[in-house]
């Protein structure tokens, strides 16, 4: 089933506003000692971003839950899972922007954290956001086995066999020519792992059955890779003002991308193919996956 673009836009806006309030509540107060560190953490997390990962948590949860089984505890758990992935994502951006990594000055249309504060504070803010994410998962009002499973999913997605490992490969690949398979492996870890974990977390919290989980996994693999392909396209087709981060950064740094490997049209064609794969994966879920289908459209068709 298709969701109207206006309805999806309204839902995404509502979810972004909702998770902003959740994060505002769950982050340490800006006045709590050490105040400067807590202010930096809040600067890194609040006040911007598409909140795609949080939206994927909610949409996967709604696609998996049994009719009439939505409870206050489930909604609270979805909130904490969505907040956790946003905290891990925010920490990764803070560290990626540091001079020792991508050395960027702009993020979400604002100075990056190390520019706004200083490098040491940025490093510590990222260090503090990551364990806070796992603390939120640990407090989900679910059975211990579900909490453990959710925690492992996020830990694996963030670690050396996920996001951190993908970033390490990315840094080691500057100036090198990668095959499409090598580039795909890098991005499945660097970008795709956390997006896939967002989908998986929503399913776990909502009690997805094995058949539902298989559909969610296939969808997540395709859409996680599509997200990065589209990012590579936008890096060369959209200006800095619209992106909210420095456009053309990858080309300037001589990093391998899908555009440099396949050309602009080839990268756009790959994104379209992955889009269709993601939507096909949702067909067995029927109407419950309408929001996930709309998110696939949003991720591939976005202009920033």
With helix as H, strand as E and coil as C, how does the chain read? Answer: CCCCHHHHHHHHHHHHHHHHHHHHHHCCCCCCCCHHHHHHHHHHHCCCCCCHHHHHHHHHHHHHCCCCCCCHHHHHHHHHHHHHHHHHHHHHHHHHCCCCCCCCCEECCEECHHHHCCHHHHHHHHHHHHHHHHHHHHCCCCCHHHHHHHHHHHHHHHCCCCHHHHHHHHHHCCCCCCCHHHHHHHHHHHHHHHHHHHHHHHHHHHCCCHHHHHHHHHHHHHHHHHHHHHHHHHHHHCCHHHHCCCCCHHHHCCCCCHHHHHHHHHHHHHHHHHHHHHHHHHHHHHHHHHHHHHHHHHHHHCCC
- Find the CATH number of the domain harbouring 218: 1.10.600.10
Task: Report the chain's mean pLDDT, rounded to a whole number.
Answer: 92
pLDDT given for residue 236 in this prediction = 87
Strand partners for 107? 110
What is the model's pLDDT at position 2?
61
Task: Give whole-number Cα distances, 170 to 47, 194, 242, 243, 301, in Å.
Answer: 28, 16, 24, 21, 25
Domain of residue 173: give its range.
5-301
247, pLDDT greater than 80: no
Question: Is it the case that residue 254 has pLDDT exceeding 60?
Answer: yes
Region 25-36: mean pLDDT is 98
How much is the pLDDT for 211? 96
Q: Report pLDDT digits (tens) over 82-95.
A: 999 999 999 999 99
Residue 251, pLDDT score: 66
Residue 44 tokens read as 């890194």
Provide the pLDDT for residue 87: 98
pLDDT value for 246:
65
Q: How many CB atoms lie within 10 A of CB 9?
A: 13
Q: Averaged over 166-195, what is the pLDDT? A: 92
118 band by pLDDT with thresholds 50, 70 and 90: very high
> Quick one: pLDDT band at residue 148, thresholds 50, 70, 90?
very high
How many residues in the chain? 304
Identify whether the C-beta of residue 194 lies closer than 8 Å to the C-beta of residue 53: yes
The C-alpha atoms of residue 153 and residue 8 are separated, in whole angstroms, by 27
Q: So what's the pLDDT on residue 243?
A: 60
pLDDT grade, residue 255 (50/70/90)?
Answer: confident
Report residue 9 CA to chain centroid gap.
18
Instruction: Please state the domain count of the chain.
Output: 1
- The pLDDT value recorded for residue 39 is 98
For residue 6, the model assigns a pLDDT of 82
Q: What is the pLDDT of residues 267-295, one digit of tens each?
A: 999 999 999 999 999 999 999 999 999 99
How many Å from the N-terminal Cα to the C-terminal Cα in the chain? 25
């Amino acid at each position: 089933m298709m969701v109207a673009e206006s309805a999806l836009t309204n839902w995404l806006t509502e979810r972004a506003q909702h998770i902003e309030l959740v994060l505002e509540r769950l982050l340490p107060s800006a006045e709590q000692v050490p105040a400067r560190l807590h202010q930096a953490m809040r600067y890194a997390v609040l006040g911007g971003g598409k909140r795609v990962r949080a939206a994927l948590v909610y949409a996967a949860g709604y696609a998996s839950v049994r009719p009439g089984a939505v409870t206050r505890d489930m909604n609270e758990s979805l909130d904490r899972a969505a907040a956790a992935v946003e905290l891990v994502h925010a920490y990764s951006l803070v560290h990626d922007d540091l001079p020792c990594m991508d050395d960027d000055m702009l993020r979400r249309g604002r100075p990056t954290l190390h520019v706004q504060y200083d490098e040491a504070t940025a490093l510590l803010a990222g260090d503090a956001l990551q364990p806070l994410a796992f603390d939120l998962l640990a407090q989900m009002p679910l059975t211990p086995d579900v909490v453990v499973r959710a925690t492992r999913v996020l830990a694996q997605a963030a670690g050396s066999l996920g996001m951190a490992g993908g970033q390490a490969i990315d840094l080691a690949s500057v100036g090198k020519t990668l095959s499409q398979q090598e580039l795909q492996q890098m991005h499945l870890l660097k970008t795709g792992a956390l997006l896939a974990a967002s989908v998986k977390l929503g399913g776990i919290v909502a009690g997805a059955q094995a058949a539902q989980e298989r559909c969610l996994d296939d969808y997540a693999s395709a859409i996680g890779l599509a997200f990065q392909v589209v990012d590579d396209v936008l890096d060369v087709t959209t200006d800095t003002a619209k992106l909210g981060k420095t456009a053309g950064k990858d080309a300037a740094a001589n990093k391998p991308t899908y555009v440099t490997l396949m050309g602009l049209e080839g990268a756009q064609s790959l994104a379209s193919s992955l889009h269709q794969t993601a939507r096909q994966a949702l067909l067995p879920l029927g109407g419950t996956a309408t929001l996930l289908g709309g998110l696939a459209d949003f991720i591939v068709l976005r202009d920033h």
